[in-house]
Structure 1
Amino acid sequence: MPEFAASRVFERVFVDGMALVEETAAYLDGPGRDMARTLPREAGLTYAAWSMELTSKLMQAASWLVMQKAVRDGDMPREDALANKYRISRDGPPLNVADQRGQGLPDTFLNLVENAENLFGRICRLDAAIYVDGHSGEASPVKRQIEELKAAAEDGAFDPLRIWGRAR
């Protein structure tokens, strides 16, 4: 985990994620609030529900990013970050922006929802990759297979079928 949080990839996700949080908050508190008053009933209900879900997902994503940064900067013990309460995952399907295009919701709002869904999904995948079985850095089955293949190649006893059979 510390290696990832110190990477350029993390820095890019952090900067992009926090910018999206700010952009979304500015929209929902400004033009989005004004526009929501003029929406037809069905679009207004969808807007209200999606706004809450959008806000919730972005707050979860921002909390995860800040937690990673805190560990990286030494402000939070690494062991604390392993706790299940800090894990992030998708409970249900993402909001389907494509189905809502042309149904009365403004494109600006739908673009924010789409960007937030992409960010949330990316962070869920990062969390799953970093915290396998609740342990940071524990090798996944794929990583273990790759390590076994490397070791076998170095020993000169490269037998991918033998390694593959043990992995199942």
Structure 2
Amino acid sequence: MTDKPTQMDERAEPVAFALRLASSDNFQSLFQEGMSLVEETALYLDGDGRTESKALDRPASLAYATESMRLTTRLMQLASWLLLQRAVNEGEMSKDQASSEKNKVRLDRLSSAVESTAWNDLPESLRELINRSIRLQERVVHLDEMLYRSTPVIESDDNPVALQLGQLQAAFGRMG
């Protein structure tokens, strides 16, 4: 019987799922979705949104102004993060450089009027854009956590399977 190296012998490091995702077609799709949402929102706020906001009563108009500013802020932060990650993916910036720059980007959730009575008074188009931006934000925050937080790993004498399980545990919570 010969001692042929197995694939596991050749791969000492576990697969970094987050890094693969961040540099995959899935990231490109997320990037496109984010940039399209920024553009769509700008067109809405500068066009139909402006018209719709003029038809609102005073309390709803105030809610519209507040929510449109929150929406714009959220999307600018998401676009900044997506552009940083794309720069890393394309080799224009190191992960450490992006991590440093990323500290200027605020991905934490801005409060929204979703649960308030003013929410129902906002135009449907604005509410839909807000909801889409929140869903996009949740996906970006999840990817950001997977890429940039330090991951505790199960001690296991360098067992690649145990290392992967440790990363999965850190990403998705306790398993079992």
TM over 0.5: yes
Superposition map of 1:44-83 within 5 A: 44-83=61-100
C-alpha separation between the residues in 1 aligned to 2:63 and 2:141?
24
Alignment RMSD: 2.7
TM-score, normalisation: structure 1: 0.73
Partner of residue 108 from structure 1, selected from 99, 121, 125? 125
Q: In the comparison of the two structures, how many residue pairs are matched?
A: 144
Amino acid of the structure 2 residue aligned with 1:85: N
Superposition map of 1:4-153 within 5 A: 4-83=21-100, 85-86=103-104, 88-90=106-108, 92-93=110-111, 95-97=112-114, 99=116, 103-132=120-149, 138=150, 140-141=151-152, 144-145=153-154, 148=156, 151=159
Shift in alpha-carbon separation, 1:11–1:75, aligned structure 2, 3 A: same
Shift of 1:110: 0.2
Find the counterpart in structure 2 of residue 163 from structure 1: none
Shift in alpha-carbon separation, 1:46–1:67, aligned structure 2, 3 A: same
TM-score, normalisation: structure 2: 0.70
C-alpha separation between the residues in 2 aligned to 1:150 and 1:21?
44
Structure 1 unaligned blocks of 5 or more: 133-137, 155-168
1:47-99 per-position Cα deviation (integer Å, ceiling 9, x unaligned)? 00010010000000001001111111122232211215255431554x24354
Structure 2 unaligned blocks of 5 or more: 1-17, 163-176
Shift of 1:122: 1.6
Question: Percent identity among equivalent residues?
Answer: 36
